[in-house]
Amino acid sequence: MSAPAIQVLEDEVEFTAIRAQGAGGQNVNKVSNAVHLRYNIAAASLPEDIKQRLLAISDQRITQEGVVVIKAQASRSLEFNKLDALARLQALVDSVAVPPKPRKPTKPSRSSQLKRLDSKTERSNVKMQRKRVGEGD
């Protein structure tokens, strides 16, 4: 049972070319090859339940305004960085595409409750034997 394929539309994504960080010599100082991807969740054409789950997750890439910001600078090519950023956004959307299973409340069995209480009593007895004689009467 696979998740329904929800595709992120590229025209809903805003790309900004920026200069990459880190070492790279003259190339890094002259060429803007890194990409900032911005994706507004509220304005997206995603189903409403997926939007809610996206906004609910605790991810540092999602701002308080509900905008996903992804920075891609792994490659020296602007196109590869765009593809990388889109793939990471798609992975983020795919991670919330499947709704979580509802939790079934369960109770511990009678035998497990008794085992727990027995182990607590046993441990208590071990600790009682460590006390000095006449202490804690």
Q: Which CATH class is domain 10-95?
A: alpha beta
Please give the pLDDT value at position 7. 84
The domain spans of the chain are 10-95
For the segment 4-17, what is each residue's pLDDT rounded down to a tens digit?
578 888 888 999 98
Q: Provide CB contacts within 8 A for 89, sequence distance 6+.
A: 8, 13, 37, 39, 68, 70
Mean pLDDT of the chain: 87
Predicted TM-score (pTM) of this structure: 0.68
Residue 1 has pLDDT above 50, yes or no: no
**How many Å apart are CA 15 and CA 38, to the nearest integer?**
6
34-40/67-72 β-pairing? antiparallel
Residue 27 has pLDDT above 60, yes or no: yes
Please give the pLDDT value at position 11. 84
Residue 53 has pLDDT above 60, yes or no: yes
Is residue 137 exposed (0-12), middle (13-18) or buried (19+ Cβ within 10 Å)?
A: exposed
pLDDT band at 24 (very low <50, low <70, confident <90, very high): low
